[in-house]
Amino acid sequence: MKSLPRTFTAQESFDSSVVNRRTLLGAALGVGGTALLAACGSQGQGVASSPSASSSATSSSAVPSPSASASAAASGIPSPTGAASSAAPSSTASASASASASASGSATLALAQPSVESQPDSLRCLVNKMRPFAQLDWEPSDLVEFYGHQLRAEAAKTADTMIDAAATDGVTLLVSSAYRSYAVQQQTYQYWVSVNGQQVADQLSARPGYSEHQTGLAIDFASPEGCRLEECYRDTLAGQWLAKNAPRYGYILRFPDGRQSVTGYRFEPWHYRYVGVQIAQEYVASGAKTFEEFIGTGAAPDYASAS
């Protein structure tokens, strides 16, 4: 995989009470089985109460500190073969889930149901605040090097094609972050807790074992235009190109605007998740606004263990 330059100038703030996220991220960036329960992430109550889950976590978009990056690089992560996708959900189930969740954007924790997918390496694996990995420190067996980061082989191959296609259109897609291990997520989450406190950290981050980045199928993109990890990324050439074309390459926008009550995260126009071309096409055709609605699990606005 070829390397791309990674220089950024944009800034981002969460609100007036939160430490400047962009500055902290700039300082933090480096160059960068056990039997499974129902769903690649379990329902959450039992797992969330474990000491490691309740005391630490990972950023949905935040990147590990230099020490975290170094420990990840030294950990020796396995490498690659592609992963096959599972059968896609029925159109009836998808439409029903979409209509239900759309009708109640403020859906509560009680609506969440076990995922229809039971394997964490499936392209349909759903991980969110109510569905951590059943094996919290699970890691993919087919990781490959990807623009200074790591990604699962199939996702990397397709993303590379997508990046080349964007370049042909005169658009540069930079990679800010991709796979993160459970150990790196622990350090990342603790960092944000130490800076902003747990309540704010939980709005900016995912606890370790609850992060989509741990699937090895998620990418945080960036752009030479700036707006890295900011909502204004939507307005960059890169952000606009991805919004229009990413599903053609099997990638979907994971945390859409105005859907925090379902996904648990604020709008992240830079965060894309690989689900495969077939599933991505079905997702778009279904009209679902979030992956939760498409899979039919209900909303996950907060951690099951939270009051």
Match domain 21-26+36-295 to its CATH number in 3.30.1380.10, 3.30.300.30, 3.40.50.300, 3.20.20.150: 3.30.1380.10
pTM, two decimals, is 0.68
pLDDT more than 70, % of the chain: 61
Sketch the domain layout of the chain as residue ranges: 21-26+36-295
pLDDT in tens, 188-234: 889 989 999 998 888 778 999 999 999 999 999 999 999 999 999 99
Higher pLDDT, 133 or 41: 133
Q: Which two tokens stand for residue 55?
A: 């005391």
- Element (H or E) spanning 149, and its range? strand 149-152
Higher pLDDT, 85 or 183: 183
pLDDT value of position 119: 86
CA–CA dist 236, 256 (Å, integer): 16
291 three-class SS: helix
pLDDT in tens, 100-134: 333 333 333 344 444 446 689 999 999 999 999 98
CA–CA dist 33, 37 (Å, integer): 12
Catalytic positions, written as ranges: 268
Kindly report the length of the chain. Answer: 307
190 three-class SS: helix
Torsion-angle region of 243 (φ positive above 0: left; ψ -120 to 50: alpha; else: beta): alpha
pLDDT value of position 247: 98
Phi–psi pair at 249, nearest 5 degrees: -110, 10
DSSP 145: E
Pairing of strands 143-146, 174-177: unpaired
CA–CA dist 147, 260 (Å, integer): 29
**Contact predicate 279/250, CB 8 Å:** yes
DSSP 246: G
pLDDT value of position 289: 96
